[in-house]
Amino acid sequence: MRDALVVWRKELVDALRDRRTLLMVLVSSVLLGPAVLVAVSSLVATLESTAERREVVVAGIDAAPTLRNFLERQAYHVRPAPLDYEAQLRRSVLPDPVVVVPADFESALRRGDSPVVEVVSDASNRRAQAGAARVERLLRGFSRERTVLTLALRGVSVEVLDPLQVESRDLASAQSRAAQFTGMLPFFVLMAVIYGALHAALDTTAGERERGSLEPLLMNPAARWSIVAGKWGAVACVSVLIAILSSISFLPAQWLLRSDTLQAMFRYGPREALLFVVLLIPFAAALSAVLMAVAIRSRTFKEAQASSTVVVLAASLVPLAVVLNPGAESPWQLWVPALAQNVLMTRVLRGEALTWEPIVVPLVGCALLSVLAIAYVARSLRSAALK
């Protein structure tokens, strides 16, 4: 046990002195998440401001005074479309969809010929696309008003038009609605854990082989399991440290949120950050062990990087299973490391209460994986030192 502590201390000092690597991990994993969050919030903010501006961009409004009258009665401001609106939409310069009114709009309307009004948008222009639904709703309102007036003139009840009334009721709480936007948070935190563990895990195994320091290390009277346990502890600690930093980094990020709605919905306080860290500790430990087990087979750091790519990919893609297959959470998901943490962190973000079972199950899963991987490393250590 004392030997394990000695090894742990040394490996931790060694890993923390590797400033350049730590800096890279900090920039790439810890700062990236909040940056993306702020970027998304500014997108949401533009969507909101377009909705608030109550503006409609119309090409050829002069040909349609009736439509202009309707729009202005709805308290919308009608703005003429620029001439090159198609190009602007394609380049995503114009953030609003454009309503194109034909020149014979008024006469066709009077004749009852249903003039065709186009709503022009670009599916790759997300802001314009988001506004298109609103504009279509507005135009349907115009169309409905015309119908109601026509029917009323002929003495037909308006209810004939609506044999069915549809009303929607949203059950989502403020937090679960925000989870649509904050759903990527767990992903970024998981990435931080992975990249935090990666370098340290490779350095204490393949790096030690490459330097030729593993053979002398094994000529000490320390037991092999205590050497491996010490190394594992140090790698897991570095990984948890990065996880803590990453979880905390989202706290200041929310002050920078540009969208008021998102800011109001996004509840990420110290309690959530703490829960994140608690959920991530078993994952960091298991991942460290697995990375070490993969790397101990490699003779050089470079070789280890190549073979650990599989683990890194798996750990970062497994959580996507939820994205690709939305629906009820299945119990098996809690047994899969990375996926389980993703599921649980999403629950935390949604403001759901965590019970004991979903915490214990991933813990057992991760513990099993760690023990297997660590036993493998301890077994391979001696043959690894000699080749």
Partner 1 sequence: MIRVDGVAKRFTVRTAGRARLRRSAMTEVQAVRDVSFTARDGVITGLLGPNGAGKTTTLRMLAGLIEPDAGRLVVDGIDVHESPRAAVARLGVLSDARGLYPRLTARENIVYYGALHGMSRDAAHARAEQLAAMLDLRSLLERRTDGFSQGERMKTALARALVHDPPNIVLDEPTNGLDVIATRALRESLRALRGDAAAGKCILFSTHIMQEVERLCDRVVVVADGRTVADGTVGDLLKRTDTEDFEDAFVALAYGAAAGDASTPVLSSDA
Report if residue 96 touches partner 1, rule: CB under 8 A. Answer: no
Q: Which of residues 10-49 bind partner 1 (CB under 8 A)?
A: 10, 13-14, 17-18
Binding partner 1 (rule: CB under 8 A), the pick from 112, 155, 212, 252 is 212
| φ/ψ (deg, to 5) at 156 | -100, 140
Query: Residue 2 to residues 6, 13, 14: CA-CA distances in angstroms?
Result: 6, 17, 18
Q: How far is the CB of 220 from partner 1 (least distance, A)?
A: 4
Binding partner 1 (rule: CB under 8 A), the pick from 196, 208, 283, 311 is 208
Report if residue 202 touches partner 1, rule: CB under 8 A. Answer: no
Which residue, 279, 191, 278, is CA-closest to 242? 191
> DSSP string spanning 222-286?
S-HHHHHHHHHHHHHHHHHHHHHHHHHHHHHHGGG---HHHHHH----HHHHHHHHHHHHHHHHH
> Which residues, in sequence order, are CB contacts of 72 under 8 Å at separation 6+?
78
Stretch that binds partner 1, among 127-135, 159-167, 214-222, 286-294 (CB under 8 A): 214-222
Q: How far is the CB of 2 from partner 1 (least distance, A)?
A: 8
Report if residue 299 touches partner 1, rule: CB under 8 A. Answer: no
Neighbours of 151 (CB within 10 A): 14
Beta strands across the sheet bearing 118-120: 77-80, 55-59, 98-100, 118-120
Residue among 202 and 349 whose Cβ is closer to partner 1: 202
Q: Which of residues 137-196 bind partner 1 (CB under 8 A)?
A: none
Site string for partner 1, 215-234 (x = CB under 8 A): xxxxxxxxx-----------
Residue among 219 and 328 whose Cβ is closer to partner 1: 219
Query: Residue 271 to residues 276, 278, 376: CA-CA distances in angstroms?
Result: 9, 11, 37
Q: How far is the CB of 300 from partner 1 (least distance, A)?
A: 13
Binding partner 1 (rule: CB under 8 A), the pick from 22, 57, 64, 214 is 214
Can you tell me the distance from the alpha carbon of 56 to that of 76, in angstroms, rounded to the nearest whole number?
7
Q: How far is the CB of 28 from partner 1 (least distance, A)?
A: 21
Q: How far is the CB of 208 from partner 1 (least distance, A)?
A: 8
Residue among 10 and 177 whose Cβ is closer to partner 1: 10
Alpha carbon 279 to its chain's center: 17
Report if residue 258 touches partner 1, rule: CB under 8 A. Answer: no
Greatest Cα pair distance in the chain = 102
Can you tell me the distance from the alpha carbon of 92 to that of 126, in angstroms, rounded to the nearest whole number?
8
Residue among 208 and 272 whose Cβ is closer to partner 1: 208
Residue among 18 and 48 whose Cβ is closer to partner 1: 18
Q: Answer yes or no: are the C-beta atoms of 123 and 89 closer than 8 Å.
A: no
Tokens of 112: 């009852």
Q: Answer yes or no: are the C-beta atoms of 120 and 85 closer than 8 Å.
A: yes
How many positions of this chain bind partner 1 (CB under 8 A)? 26
Binding partner 1 (rule: CB under 8 A), the pick from 213, 309, 325, 330 is 213
Q: How far is the CB of 382 from partner 1 (least distance, A)?
A: 6
Bridge partners (DSSP) of residue 58 are 80, 99
Stretch that binds partner 1, among 7-15, 79-87, 112-120, 350-358 (CB under 8 A): 7-15
Residue among 122 and 210 whose Cβ is closer to partner 1: 210
**Which residues form the interface with partner 1 (CB under 8 A)?**
2-3, 6-7, 10, 13-14, 17-18, 208, 211-223, 382, 385-386
